[in-house]
Amino acid sequence: MHELAKMFRPQSVAVVGASGDPEKLGGRALLHLKTLGYQGRIYPINVSAAEVQGLPAFRSVMDLPEVPDCALILLPAGLVSKAVEDCAAKGVKHMQVLSSGFAEEGGEGVAMQRRLAEQARAHGIRFTGPNCLGSISPPDGYFGTFSSLLATARPGPGTVGVATQSGAYGSHIYAVAGFRGIGISRAIATGNEADVDVATAIDYLAEDPGTKVICASLEGCANDDGLRRALLKAAAARKPVIIMKVGSTEVGAAAAATHTGSLAGEDRVIDTVFRECGALRVSSIEEMLDVAYLCSVGPQPPNAGVGILSVSGGIGVLMADACIENGLQVPAMPPEVLAEIRAVQPMAGGRNPIDTTAQLAGRLHVVETISQSMMRGADLGAVMFYLAHLGRDLKRFPPLAKALTGLRRDYPDRAVVAVMTHVDEVRLALEAEGIAVFEDPNRAVRAVAGAERLRRLQLGAEAVPVIALSACNEAEAKRLIAEAGVPVPPEHACASATAAVAAAEALGYPVVLKILSDDIPHKTEVGGVLLNVADADAAARGFATLMERARQARPDAKLDGVLVAPMLKGGVETILGTLRDPVFGPMVMFGLGGVAVELFRDVAFASAPLTPHRAEALIAASRGARLIEGWRGAPPLDKAALVQALVALSRFAAAHPEVASVEVNPFLVREKGAAALDALVSISTRC
């Protein structure tokens, strides 16, 4: 059993600060426990009353006849510390601190919250909050929250688990889930997260036997390996995780920081971590619930192929477009299957989508034949039916229900989805058979695409090994990356024109001259690079030119002379980089160099360190991959050298926490070999 199981599914609960007035928070929480079906033991704690809302009350947790599984704390902030001492004295191991007045108020509240966390830790107590909404477990009739929402919209029991930081966010999710008939297993709001955070809640839900699908929302993230571990645990258990991270734009992130005081991780890093750990990131609650609904009703599609049967040609095409745009496939049916279909419905058009046309009235039984034929005609992960308004027509629906449920039973691992306007009676009957029902065609397609993508993400999820940290090293950029194993062409630092000519003669012409100065990291901006230097005369003149340009552009820069390097031609310029994310640690980046990175941000990220296999996947994730493979008849380039360099650079980044970032730009990948033509290493000043 998970160590937090008793926190979220308690057999007995103390309500500390219980009130007789249901308008007060401590009264409303007690009322919810009393009246909404909870079968466990409820102990109101109230210093002055012998009875609260008809239940016998106790002055302190210490007076209780047993150790409650969980204590809900609803006292004013200043009284919480004493209550925690009482809980500790009694031996309570789980609390939910719903009281506000802590870090969210700043000032003294921050210190109070820190003391609360220390106090609980000292006594071995785990807790949610402070300033949280509590949690619910509809299958147990347990609603341990003061949310006023429950008066008008109470979610039913089900298999979708919800973990959010914000209570309002969480209750919005479960309220909308309730309206749409999506049942909830547990919903947990973690508030200020002085102990249990969303990552911990996901970890719990990943083990919770009643939870099949997990919906989560993060505002910040202070617990790096915890989140990764929790997501990987869910992926290993094949529980789909659909996750939102709010604060993805600059305005949003600024607001999130104000709101939560926690760190808004760099958005693409979050994307990467979610993807690597098998979670599907979505950007709206609606999409989250659509995917969760599909995954909770029936199986995730085992492949990207979709069969579409539509009573409207136009809507069939709309859905096919949406499939392609969302990464699904719509394989054409073979001629023999089309012949079978036309044998029962001569008007049927298309090869997939199959347009039965509206001339189906009175002959709805042919839908069964057509859909069975389609299943035989291609390897379909999902079959989607557009049935217009037939879901509102109880008289005419039975042959369609027969077609849908027959398919469901004959192909138990495929997703079957009906898109139509409908009455609840029809929807509930189909859902009971494992068939999902949507009203909007696009939302249905996006849900299928999300569920299918989740399946692939979870299959691909893998743990990234944690590397032991080594000591700081402040040697300069090129030497560092060369030592790390990134190929760097021979080049010579020359303090005089004579030395530059000698170096060029030794390398062989043509050469490249580059200004050498710690104060000028971006050489091209001062005209500090000369290409194709062809002879001794040009080399000597080039030295003078570069020194003069640098002096003009940066009179205060300390100039160390020029670098002389061989002029490498051919190949494709790429960019390699690393950065150390404050939450998720070392990340590595690959992209096409030059205009592609500047204008199109064609870069992909992965957590460091990379294996060769993951390095190949990183390369494939960028559009530049097509140039590496040999573009338009050009010979393929040395991908092995690129992979080796990425692996080496990623290991370097993982092993050196003092390195804030590395940028190798350009990294030239050639037909044979590859070379770092420039590199910039930023060392964190904290080391």
311 is a site residue for a second copy (CB under 8 A)? yes
Q: Are 538 and 640 in contact (CB under 8 A)?
A: no
Nearer to a second copy by Cβ, of 389 and 613: the residue is 389
Site string for a second copy, 167-186 (x = CB under 8 A): xxx-xx--xx--x-------
Nearer to a second copy by Cβ, of 327 and 612: the residue is 327
Options 284, 471, 508, 635; binder of a second copy; rule CB under 8 A? 284
Write down the residue that tokens 């023999």 correspond to. Answer: 336
Nearer to a second copy by Cβ, of 312 and 650: the residue is 312
Question: Is residue 440 classed as helix, strand or coil in its secondary structure?
Answer: coil
Give the span between the Cα atoms of 680 and 544, in whole angstroms.
25
Nearer to a second copy by Cβ, of 169 and 411: the residue is 169
Q: List the Cα angle 227/229/231 in 5-degree steps.
A: 70
155 is a site residue for a second copy (CB under 8 A)? no
388 is a site residue for a second copy (CB under 8 A)? yes
Which region, judged by CB under 8 A, interacts with a second copy, from 295-303, 384-392, 556-564, 649-657?
384-392
Residue 22: is the preceding peptide bond cis (ω within 30°)?
no
CB atoms within 10 A of CB 5: 15
Task: Give the DSSP H or E segment for 158.
Answer: strand 157-164
Nearer to a second copy by Cβ, of 50 and 599: the residue is 599
Nearer to a second copy by Cβ, of 368 and 602: the residue is 602
Options 259, 456, 541, 670; binder of a second copy; rule CB under 8 A? 259
| Minimum distance, C-beta of residue 687 to a second copy, in the bound complex (Å) | 31
Amino acid at site 686: R
Nearer to a second copy by Cβ, of 496 and 532: the residue is 532
Nearer to a second copy by Cβ, of 353 and 657: the residue is 353
Nearer to a second copy by Cβ, of 197 and 219: the residue is 219
Closest CA to 239 of 290, 201, 200, 279: 279
Give the span between the Cα atoms of 232 and 238, in whole angstroms.
10
600 is a site residue for a second copy (CB under 8 A)? yes
681 is a site residue for a second copy (CB under 8 A)? no
Give the span between the Cα atoms of 460 and 454, in whole angstroms.
10
**Residues in 206-245 at the binding interface with a second copy, rule: CB under 8 A:** 217, 219, 244
250 is a site residue for a second copy (CB under 8 A)? yes
Give the span between the Cα atoms of 204 and 406, in whole angstroms.
37
**Residues in 390-409 at the binding interface with a second copy, rule: CB under 8 A:** 392-393
The token duo for 56 is: 């016998």
Paired with 384 in beta bridges are 308, 417
**Residues in 616-635 at the binding interface with a second copy, rule: CB under 8 A:** 623-624, 626-627, 631-633
| Minimum distance, C-beta of residue 557 to a second copy, in the bound complex (Å) | 17
Q: How many residues bind a second copy (CB under 8 A)?
A: 94
Options 121, 363, 389, 479; binder of a second copy; rule CB under 8 A? 389
Site string for a second copy, 565-594 (x = CB under 8 A): ---------------------------x-x
The token duo for 268 is: 């693409």
Please compute, for residue 541, the number of CA atoms within 13 A of its CA located in the half-sphere on the CB side: 7
**Residues in 67-126 at the binding interface with a second copy, rule: CB under 8 A:** 100, 104-105
318 is a site residue for a second copy (CB under 8 A)? yes
Q: Measure CA 596 to chain center.
A: 26
Q: Are 299 and 407 in contact (CB under 8 A)?
A: no
Question: Is residue 185 classed as helix, strand or coil in its secondary structure?
Answer: strand
Nearer to a second copy by Cβ, of 290 and 340: the residue is 290
Residue 510: is the preceding peptide bond cis (ω within 30°)?
yes
Give the span between the Cα atoms of 408 and 297, in whole angstroms.
12
| Minimum distance, C-beta of residue 633 to a second copy, in the bound complex (Å) | 6
| Minimum distance, C-beta of residue 101 to a second copy, in the bound complex (Å) | 10
Which region, judged by CB under 8 A, interacts with a second copy, from 284-292, 535-543, 559-567, 637-645?
284-292
Nearer to a second copy by Cβ, of 73 and 87: the residue is 73
Options 34, 123, 268, 443; binder of a second copy; rule CB under 8 A? 443
Q: Are 597 and 575 in contact (CB under 8 A)?
A: yes
Task: Give the DSSP H or E segment for 653.
Answer: helix 639-655
Options 111, 428, 432, 595; binder of a second copy; rule CB under 8 A? 595
CB atoms within 10 A of CB 321: 14
353 is a site residue for a second copy (CB under 8 A)? yes
What 3 state SS string does 293-329 have? HHHHHCCCCCCCEEEEEECCHHHHHHHHHHHHHCCCE
Give the span between the Cα atoms of 239 and 231, in whole angstroms.
9
